Structure formats: C-alpha cells, structure tokens
Structure 1
C-alpha cells in the first residue's frame, strides 16, 4: 500500500532546531508546540500554541526565544508571511510565554505597534532593532521598553551589524522581475558615526545587477552583475575602508551567490546546476559538511544552526526520497544524533529517487529534466509530465510532495526544464521568449525520449502543472493532442491576450508588462503568434479530458482564466472538470488545500488512464 496522501501534504512538522549560544539548549517548533530540550539533563519542556500557529524561532541570548507566528487568516490570504503582519512572541528558555514582542506594556498589539525587524543584539539586556522609514528603535526583549536608535540612510534595504548599527543601505533603482536591477545605489559609512558616502552602480548596456550583500567582518560590499551579451556573471567586492573595487569571482552561472553563516562570515560561494552546489571557502564548513555528506551520499547537507565556537552544529539533511531531517553534532562527544524530521509519517517508507537527465529537443537543443520513479516501478509505466511555473523558474533536486506521492502510486514523473527555464544560462532562459510553441514541444520531446527507453507507456501520459505550468498543460493538450491522455491545469494562464492586458505592474515590481511582452509577445507586432499559442482559442483541438483547479482569490493569474476556459470547453462539448477553491490564492497554501488538490489530481488521472486500458 502506498503512503496516505496526507502524509505528503502536511504542514511543516518541525522548524529548524536552534542552539542556545551557550550550547545548553536546543529549541524548535514541533507539531505546533515549542520544544526546549536541555542538552545537559536530556529533559524537554513544551509550550502549546493554543489558538495561534507557531512558525519558526530563534534564540536571542541564552534566556529568550523569539517565536514567529502564522495566522490562519494570513496563511489563507497571502503567499508570503511578513513579520510586519503580526507580532512575534517572546518565550523563556523554560518554555514559558513571556510577552508579545510588540505589545506596548502588556496592551493588545495594534497595527501601529508593528515594524520590520532589522536584527537582534545580544547581551545582558538583549533587544530587537526595529526599522521605520527614517529611523531605528531598540525594543527590549524582556520588558518591551523602546529607546531611540539612529537616523537611517535612505534605502529599500538596510544592513544592520551585530551591535545594532546600520552599516549599509541599498536603493534598488530599477528592479525587473526575473532578470535583476539595472542600477543600484549603496549608502554607507566607513565606520559607525562617520559621514555618509555613496557608491553608485550605473545602468550599463546589456548588464543587470542580481545580488548584493554586506559583510561586516571584512567591511565590504559585494554584488553580482550579469552581462547577457557574454553570458558572464561577475561578482565584485568593494572595500569600504579603501574605496577599492575588485573582481571577486566570475563565471557563466548567473545563480552564483555568497553563502554566509549566521554570524555574518562569508563561508562559501553557491551555484545551481542539476542541484545546489557550494564551494566552501571556510575550512570548518568544508571539513564538517564533507564528513556528513559521506554519511548521507546523494543528499543535500547544510548547516541549519551552529554556535559561534563551532562546538555545536545542527545539520539539515534532505534528499528527494528522504526529506528534511535534522541532526545535532557535538564536537565534545563527536556524536551525530537525529532530532527529527518534517515528514515523520514517511520515515521508513520507500520513496522514489530523483534522477537528472538531458534529452534532445527536435531542433537539437539539450533539455535538462528530472525523472522521479520508484526502483520497483516496472517498465512501460504510466507517465505524468510536470512542467514547473514561471516560466523563468526551475525545479531542483529536492523533495517534491506531488512528485513523490504520484510516484508512490506507480507513475513515472518527468519534470522537464523546458526552454525559458532559469538556472541553465541566460541564452536558454531567453530561448523561450515568443517561442511558446517550442516550450510545448519540449515537453512532447521528453515523452518521446522516455518512450524510446522503454520506461513509459505512451498511451498513458498526463500533463499537469501550476501557474505557467498550467498554461503549458493546456497548450500541450491543444497543440500536441496525440500525446496526452489527460491534462491538469492549476491556476493556469488560458488566455494570453488577457494576461497581457491584465498584468499588474505593481505586483511585478513595476515591470509586469515589459516582462510578459518579452515572454509572450507584443500584442500588436506578434499578434499572430499569440493567437497561435493561446489555449483558449484552440479548445476545438483538445481531445483529452482536462481538469482545471483555481483559487477564487488568485492575485497572480486571475481566476477568470480558468472560468473562461471551463466555459469554452463546455461550449465545444469537451470533457472538462472545474474546481474553484474558496479563499485560495495562487496555488494551495496549507495542508487542507494541498490534500484537496492532490486527491483531485490523483482521482482524475486514475479515471483518465483507466479509459486507456
């Protein structure tokens, strides 16, 4: 018997465990309780959440935990939870509730009391550094007393050092979704209290800025810029003390970024190819992570927390078939002990390995992809093609609850990184622009490749995706109808012209219209191509059953896309099922919604394939 679907769709069971600075306690959120484990006595204390939902936590000094909350209403009505939407709670190391962080002298928290948190300062009386538009404040963790901080530099983003002082502020002058920024302005002080100085990164032809960081320990600003005419990513370092700029690293992978430890030291440089790779430049990280990787081959290993003396380390170990386990290592005992995991019901279950492959598209382009299937899955098995959203996005070597559940039912899962996907070079990402037909045939070419390997039954192929993946599912049924037995579009784009009209420049950072016209086409100049690739205009060509799932509160792809597609399919006499989910935004947000969607997909696929028996 395959594991139950609710084992895959559950909310996070445990948060990353955190070590107290003195290495005497571990704390984490487990099944909506705070667990504080005493490492000296090996005893535990717990605090129930009550009407709230605990999210993640962190130590501030050795005596206090700041616990971030999530609220059901917020969870169901937004894609992102922001700290300014609610007040974190302060918990003692004895697992007792002390106060809401932003509660003014014990009174109820109002909207005017909340503020973004720039950081925490430890010491005898630890405090949070909160930020307004123009100044910072110091909020005492234990008492809630507020004292004035400093006047902030003009910026969209502030870097606060471990003493609670602003060191660098960044203005993002021209941010573009997917690509980066065309110009940046850094405001900085050579040392705290010194006069403000400015570093301007001007607009350059065919260059955009991707990442930026400040490292307190070498007092330097770092940023990466990508020259898409050369497919070259360059990382630069600006020494604040000397005002000297130098090239730090360069290469073709525009996902290159710095990796910091929790204390602000640069410990590695990360890139993404078939999976996340980190070149560890810190000897301790290189040694200890390499040692754990030997114990868990083919797993992703990272440090979830550590003490500053490096004698206590919490590791995250995860693989597609063994998701999210946490281990504690003590340098004094040399023991590596498992604390727990995020999917406890799947512990001991045989899940499906994930394999990275490439195949040739019909025009000769190499298409990367991931195949997920159980080792006991026989040859000529049914196939689910799962294109990701975006399109400037990608899948990664990691646990995917949908892929793993469907693989447990005996299906092969293909996740093609079709042209237009990010992470495989700028030219590959742009190759899909105004060539949506080639995105669609990239999927079909993957099906043909697996069929020639004898891995799948070409009569039983379903295409399923969310967001832009939902568009591709509908397009695949319309434009390659001989290939698929069924299709599932979750929050999918059905009407390309409507998408171009309704794009939201505010939602897309001011560049929704420009971005989507680059991908889909200009409604005037490219009208013929848009008509030719818009699924709603080709429902008559669809022969396979189609399942549509959409949230009525989707503020990314308007629910009207699926409503119109449902109506058009019915008017054409096609086999269509439509599920509209109340209060769901751009995809399932919680365990209930994920379980509903997964069960609907599972049932729909099984019934569609049964007709092909």
Structure 2
C-alpha cells in the first residue's frame, strides 16, 4: 500500500499530465526543420534545406567525410530555397520562392539558380517575377519565369555534366504546353532541343540522358500518346482517346528505351504497373507491380538508367525493390528501425560503397533522417543520425492513424481513416474531415498535420475516402461521376454513423474541409442539419452553376476542364441543370442550422472569392450569417505563416465552442 506522500506525488503527477496544454499550432503548421535531403552524385556530400537558426529556408551542404565542413551555402533574407538538385559533384541548382508570402501573390513564381557546393559562383538561370537575391554581375539576367526544371542528365562513367533540361511552358489549345531547352549551369548559355518530336506536345518523358522518348499531345480535345521505340527514328502513336478513356498512362522510361506504363487490366479493379510490349501493342502480362486493394500510384527508382525498384502507395508508402541487393538492404533497415516506415534514397545503390539517406517515420512521428555509409572512414560508424524533420513534435503526444473499410448504405466499400488519441477511453467528440479534389486520394499512413492537430485537441478525426477518390480502384473513382452532394455525400455521412456504432465517436460532431471538402461541409450541414453541431469550410465550392458554367465576371482557371471533363464528372450545365441546382449549397442555405466558419482567399482562381461571398450572403439572408474570414492575397490555400496560424487558432476556438472536448 503506497504511503500518503507517494500517493500525493502520484496524484499530482496525474493532475499535471491531465492539465498539460496540447502542442501549439506552430508545432503542426510551421515549416519543417529539415525539408529536402539530397545526396551528391558521388555520395560524398549532402544538400539539406532548413530554416533552423534562420528566418528563411536556406541551403546547407554537408561534407560527409570525417570532420567535413557544414556550409550554409545560400541564405536569403526575403526568400526560401526549394527543389534542390545536384548537377555534378560540385554544382547544384535550386529554386527560390517566398514560402511566407500569401499564395496569390505574383512573387510566388520561383526562379532557378545555380551555385557551387562552397557557395561560390552563384548564377541566376531563370528569373523570378521579383528578385530576392543578388546574382553575379557577369550574367545578371536569366530566362523568363515560365521555365521549369524538367530533369538533370546522368552522365556516362568518366563524363562530367554541366547542363540541365528545362521546360518552357506555353499553351496548346488552352492547355499547358512544354518546349524543352538545354541550359548550361556555368555560363547560362541555352540550346534548343533539336530532335523531331510530335507537334502540340504538352508533356515529355525523357530518359536519363535527357533524350525524349515519349510525349503526350492534345488535338481536338483528345489525348494522343507517342513513343520513340529503341533503335527507331520514327514515332509510334500509342493511342488517341478522350481524356477520361486513356488505356494506360506512361510512368517512365529506362535507359534502354523500354517503356513503363500503368493500366487497369481487363477483369481487374485496380491499376498496375507493367512494361509496354511493342509487338503486342499493349502492356505486358503479368504486371511488374500489383498492389492488392490499391491502385499503383508511384514512380520508378532508377540509377544509371537501370530500374532498381518502384515506390508506390498502398495504405502507406511501399517500396518494391527489383534489385536483390537493395531488397536485402531494405530488410536490414526495417529490422534495425522496426515499427516504422523507412524510405531509402541512395547513390551507388546496392554496391559495396553505397551511401544512403533513410527517412524513418510513422503516424506519430514526421520522421528522422539517418545517413548510411557502407564504407565509412576508419573509426566511424556506418550509421549516423542527421536530425529530426520536426523537432517541436513529440511523438508521445501524437495520435494513432488506422484504416477501416466501411459499408455505405448501398453496400459499397468505403475506406475510412480514423485518427484517435492514444489511450482514449470511450466515444470522443468527432470531426469529420473531408479531403479536397475530389478526384484525389485523401490520406496515407504517415504523420498528418490537420489530423494530428485535431486529435491533440481531444477529437476523434474521421476521414472518408468517398467514391470519386482515387487510389482505391477505377470503379470506385468513376462511381463518383455526377454524384456531388448525392452518394458522395452519403459516404461521408455513413462514415460518421459507422464511427458512432463502433463506439469511436460520440453524438457531438462537426464537419470541415477545404475546396471540395468545403463543399461537402456545406452540403453536410444542408442534407443532415441535425447531424452536425458546426461546420468549417475554407476555399469551398458553393455555387455549382458558377463552377460548371463559369462567368464573364468571375475569373477562374477551369476553362479547359469545363471543355474536357466537367460535363462528364460533375455535370452538364444544360442537361444536368436541375441536378446541379438541387445540390448547390447557395440554394440550400435555409436548410442549414449549425454555425459555420467560412474562409476564403481573395486571389483564389480555382474557387474564386465569389463562391464565398455568395454563400455568406445567402446565409445572412436567412438569418444565419457565418463567421467570415477573407485572407487578402491568398489563393487556393493559405500559405502565409501568420494566416496559417491564425486560421488554425480560429478553428481550434470554433470547434471547442461547439463540441466542448
């Protein structure tokens, strides 16, 4: 039996733990301490982006030899370093942007720069709309801002590389088009891509040498795929179809010119990865990678033109190594860092002198970086800890994330993700968090900022992958066509009902989301007014007629999608007018009873501000004015640091007021 002193101390410890404040919003929504980590071609240097110790994200280069220097190569007072790549062992390219600027600002366009690993010979290659950094006087100007980095060629053994391939972006029939151009990272000299390619190409697939092997073109609102097979000088047309009927998608090309494609095999529900058979004019069978229960959604892992493996997504990230040496190394890493996902990037992959960076992470932990050197210097260990992705996040304070398969009211299987505080007893107030898109996948098993933020405030977070979501089979995706506000919305509702039956969620719930998720929030409040105590919608679609038909008076970026996909996936402005009106939130304001937090960005051209003001006014007209926020300068998402934190705090206060966690 404990003494009174021991008992008092134990009770005090329990009370202190119970009263401990959850981590602040900055722990979840600030920029990570380590962003990118990229090995040099030889594996002797490591480039890292980080804002640690500075106000902006800078570029740091580590010499990985014992006692090697750590240099802050680029640090700007008004911009952030992103998209770092090595051109050769001594020179890198990177982009500069302003991560602290509102997303709708014209300053957002990134520039492209080159710099030596020691910080010398800084040169602008592509101009920004505003300059943040002084370039060398020998070449103060670069190419226009509408150039992006396409790829960096991998030289043959004994060669050195000093050029990168850019894509000059334009327009073809209202769609983005790309024209490749080479640029020398030392001199800034450019050279047009001279090889003959099909006209009107808007997407290029190149091999590791920078040679174009496949393209996509757009003609008469149809997509054509073209391939240049190995050993041939003439292009082969692979298909010519409507946008939504492509028989396969080109995923990449190996050094020998062989083509890798993803497709849904006949009689199958899920997308797989396969090599393309030139003689059969079809993807090979059996496929190279099949992910049971999920679509293939990933990329090839290559070195020296050889495909070593494939990285894709199942319930979590999955790496399928085709190289036996890397398969063995992955197994060793997973045993050493058990209970976590371990994502490997490497140089000299699988060789006796391999160097690798491992990001080891979980649903509780954004991750930690480890360096592995197969041949360390004498007296050094093979493994070295590089640092944590987010130092402010304590994994012990985070929540578990689990995937469940739920039966919707019509019998469809709907994947539902649940984030729930560890050790929680009994039902908790619920937040139904609906992903945007909607034609995307919402969640993968890893640390997720919004889910963890809400769970840290005492909620169980329900995230349904409603029909129309991608990644769970082509039929699940197409089942969402013309179902906005209908069976897509029923899936969201049914996920909450399921969570209550399972004892996970109490009878107190709010719904929230952005973009399409904001639309689903508004429709949830209208279709099930007694189910939710509140709603939080940001950058939300509220007027389906405006979205589908457009307006001369409202600027948006949906002209091409209205022509190619909107009539089929959302609805035809004329033929489906009644359906669209019946599921347009601005026409259903009188049904909404619960309080609403409504936020928009003034410069949004994906879901223009008019959606927000029309919804606000419709609710005010029926006596239910929402809590309204207009973030000036922001576009389709809030990127300015002070806006991100302000919105998170508003959400926290709003939910606490109506859910009393």
TM interval, short-chain normalised: 0.7 to 0.9
Alignment of 1:158 with 2:204, yes or no, is yes
1:604 CA displacement: 0.9
Cα pair distance change 1:367/1:239, threshold 3 Å: closer
Q: Which moved more, 1:346-355 or 1:122-131?
A: 122-131
Matches within 5 A, 1:81-96: 85-96=109-120
Counterpart in the other structure of 1:275: 316
Scaled by the length of structure 1, the TM-score of the pair is 0.87
Tell me whether 263-272 or 60-69 shows the greater mean CA deviation. Answer: 263-272
Q: Normalising by structure 2, what TM-score? A: 0.81
Measure, in 2, the Cα distance between the counterparts of 1:283 and 1:137.
37
Does the 8 Å contact 2:48/2:60 carry over to 1? Answer: yes
Q: Mapping of 1:385-534 within 5 angstroms?
A: 385-395=432-442, 396-435=444-483, 436-458=485-507, 460-502=508-550, 507-508=557-558, 510-513=560-563, 515-534=565-584
From the superposition, tell whether residues 6 and 505 of structure 1 become closer, same or farther in structure 2 (CA, over 3 Å): closer
Matched residue, 1:127: 163
**Contact 2:357–2:369 (8 Å) recurs in 1:** yes
Q: Distance in 2 between matches of 1:80 and 1:211?
A: 34
TM-aligned CA distance change 1:351 to 1:93, over 3 Å = same
Q: Is 2:300–2:309's contact at 8 Å kept on the other side of the alignment?
A: yes
Question: Hey, what's the Cα distance between the residues in 1 that align with 2:243 and 2:187?
Answer: 53
Asked if structure 2 preserves the Cα contact closer than 8 Å seen for 1:234 and 1:247, the reply is: no
Q: CA deviation at 1:228?
A: 8.3
Q: Provide the C-alpha distance between the structure 1 equivalents of 2:229 and 2:136, rounded to a whole number of angstroms.
A: 33
Task: Decide whether the 8 Å contact of 1:206 with 1:229 is kept in 2.
Answer: no
- Aligned equivalent of 1:106: 138
Q: For the structure 1 residues 505 and 487, does the alpha-carbon distance in structure 2 shift closer, same or farther, using more than 3 Å as the test?
A: closer
CA shift digits 1:38-83 (9 cap, x unpaired): 22214322232233311132222221122221135986227997xx
CA shift for structure 1 position 104: 9.1
Unaligned runs of 5+ in 1: none
The question of whether the paired residues in 2 share the 8 Å contact of 1:16 and 1:326 is answered with: no
Query: Residue 203 of structure 1 corresponds to which residue in structure 2?
Result: 241
Q: Using a 3 Å threshold, how does the CA distance of structure 1 residues 550 and 314 change in structure 2: closer, same or farther?
A: same
8 Å CA contact 2:519–2:540 kept in 1: the answer is: yes
Contact 2:343 2:359 in 1 (8 A): yes
Could you say if the C-alpha distance between residues 234 and 448 of structure 1 is closer, same or farther in structure 2, counting changes exceeding 3 Å? closer
Change (3 A) 1:39 1:61: same
Number of corresponding residues: 598
Task: Quote the offset at 1:359 in angstroms.
Answer: 1.8
Deviation at 1:418, TM superposition (A): 1.3
Residue of structure 2 in register with 1:33 after alignment: 58
Comparing 259-268 with 100-109, greater Cα deviation is found at 100-109
| Partner of residue 237, structure 1 | 275
Distance 1:95 1:579, change over 3 A: same
1:313 counterpart residue number: 356
- Counterpart of 1:170 in structure 2 is 215
Q: Return closer, same or farther for 1:569/1:25 CA change in 2, 3 Å cut-off.
A: same
Equivalent residue runs for 1:248-259 within 5 Å: 249-250=286-287, 254-259=295-300
Aligned to 2:174: none
Q: SS in structure 2 opposite 1:173?
A: strand
Secondary structure of the 1:585 match is coil
Aligned partners of 2:117, 2:197: CA distance in 1, in Å? 36
Match of 1:247 in 2: 284
More strand by share: 1
Query: After the TM superposition, which of the residue ranges 200-209 and 509-518 deviates more from structure 2?
Result: 200-209
Cα separation, 2, equivalents of 1:275 and 1:79? 36
Q: Is the 8 A contact 1:136 1:151 kept in 2?
A: no
- Provide the residue aligned with 2:397 in structure 1: 350
CA RMSD, 1 decimal = 3.4
User: Is 1:50 matched with 2:80?
Assistant: no
CA 593–235 in structure 1, closer or farther in 2 if over 3 Å, else same:
same
The equivalent residue for 2:188 is 144
Partners of 1:56 and 1:325 in 2: CA distance: 20
CA gap of 1:238–1:434, structure 2 versus 1, over 3 A, is closer
Tell me how far apart the structure 1 counterparts of residues 145 and 423 of structure 2 sit (CA, whole Å): 57
Q: Which is worse superposed, 356-365 or 385-394? A: 356-365
1:405-451 per-residue CA deviation (whole Å, 9 max, x = no partner) reads: 11111111010111221111122222233333222222222222222
Assess if the C-alpha contact under 8 Å between 1:470 and 1:491 holds in 2. yes
**Is residue 211–residue 257 contact of structure 1 (8 Å, CA) maintained in 2?**
no
Give secondary structure in 2 for the equivalent of 1:65: strand
Residues 324 and 341, structure 1, Cα contact 8 Å, conserved in 2: yes
* Alignment partner, residue 14 of structure 2: none
Structure 2: which 5+ runs fail to align? 1-20, 52-56, 127-134, 170-177
Partners of 2:282 and 2:609 in 1: how far apart? 49
Residue 96 of structure 2 is aligned to residue 69 of structure 1: yes
Listed one character per residue, the Cα deviations across residues 88-127 of structure 1 (whole Å, up to 9, x for unaligned) are 2222222345322357972322554874444335544622
Choose the corresponding residue for 1:363, options 389, 407, 410.
410
